[in-house]
Amino acid sequence: MQSLQQKASEWSGVAGADAFAIDETNLFEKLGLQTFVDLSTSFYNRQERIVLLIWPIPHLRLGSLVFDDEEQWFRSIFATSKKEDAIRNQYEFFVQRMGGPPLYSERKDLYLRIHTLTSVHGLDRPSGADRTPPPFPVTHRAAERWLHHMQQALDSTQTIDPDSKIKMMNFFRHTAFFLVAGDELKNPATKGAVPACKHAASKPAAE
Ligand code: HEM
């Protein structure tokens, strides 16, 4: 049977070695804290002009990309999140994972601190079995949409050099599909359809 890492590599098209090339350089030292804050702020809060076709005069408004995603099913995944918390959760995790101080773990409780990716985000237990928020779908489609926004956020963060961008995107892509694979394992009956949970990514497990 394929491991989650193998599935993640197959579905993402990113080999494990490329996904974890982020560990070859200390990206936190290279890029600095502000870059990670900017990246997550851009991911969650970047404003985009949205044209509303309201007859007879089309309206323009500004919307944030993830929270106001044009696709309702994706927007609804973030419906219970607070934007400021989501930004902080994400950049603190990225900082920690990419060689910086353990900001994320320090802020989370002991339970979170001693668990790895799958348990932190509920992939290994029934929904509602702890106090993490309710599950949300991490399907192939959700992964692609998340990655689409992350690619845009990376492209709009000017302090990230091209090589770091590639390394980070490979890590994000592989991790996103690792999460999809974890969901499918947890919910074989709903393969490719609904499942889900919260997540993050630890270092690769042994194949
Ligand atoms: C949190 C969705 C991929 C890392 C969240 C949240 C949602 C979400 C809805 C809650 C926002 C909040 O309140 O903090 C998704 C979807 C993904 C995806 C649909 C598609 C596959 C990823 C990837 C990573 C990641 C690839 C890491 C490389 C995190 C982290 C948090 C988070 C660290 C904060 C968890 C916490 O502290 O509560 N994600 N995510 N996510 N996500 Fe994702």
The domain ranges of the chain are 4-190
User: Running DSSP on this structure, what letter comes out for residue 72?
Assistant: H
pLDDT at residue 189, rounded to an integer: 56
- Nearest atom of ligand 1 to the alpha carbon of 82: 13
pLDDT at residue 62, rounded to an integer: 63
176 Cβ closer than 6 Å to some ligand 1 atom: yes
Distance, in Å, from the CA atom of 147 to the CA atom of 46, rounded to the nearest integer, reads 15
200 Cβ closer than 6 Å to some ligand 1 atom: yes
Is the alpha carbon torsion for 120, 123, 127, 129 positive or negative?
Answer: negative
- The closest residue, in CA terms, to atom 43 on ligand 1 is 199
138 Cβ closer than 6 Å to some ligand 1 atom: yes
Alpha carbon separation from 120 to 55, 80, 115, 179, 196 (Å, rounded): 47, 18, 6, 12, 13
pLDDT at residue 123, rounded to an integer: 46
d(CA 138, ligand 1 centre) in Å: 10
- The closest residue, in CA terms, to atom 11 on ligand 1 is 86
pLDDT at residue 61, rounded to an integer: 63
pLDDT at residue 112, rounded to an integer: 54
Q: What is the ipTM of this complex?
A: 0.97
pLDDT at residue 46, rounded to an integer: 83
- The closest residue, in CA terms, to atom 21 on ligand 1 is 143
Please state the pTM of the whole predicted model: 0.83
d(CA 159, ligand 1 centre) in Å: 23
pLDDT at residue 68, rounded to an integer: 86
Task: Provide the residue type at 31 as one letter.
Answer: L
Closest CA to 74 of 136, 150, 122, 134: 136
d(CA 199, ligand 1 centre) in Å: 5
∠ CA 196-199-201, nearest 5°, is 135
Kindly give the parts of the chain with pLDDT less than 70: 48-51, 60-64, 109-135, 189-207
d(CA 40, ligand 1 centre) in Å: 11
- Nearest atom of ligand 1 to the alpha carbon of 146: 20
Angle between helices 140-156 and 33-45 (to 10 degrees): 130
pLDDT at residue 185, rounded to an integer: 86
Class of the domain covering 4-190: mainly alpha
Q: Which residues contact 105 (CB under 8 A, 6 or more apart)?
A: 96, 112, 113
145 Cβ closer than 6 Å to some ligand 1 atom: no
Strand (E) or helix (H) holding 76: helix 72-77
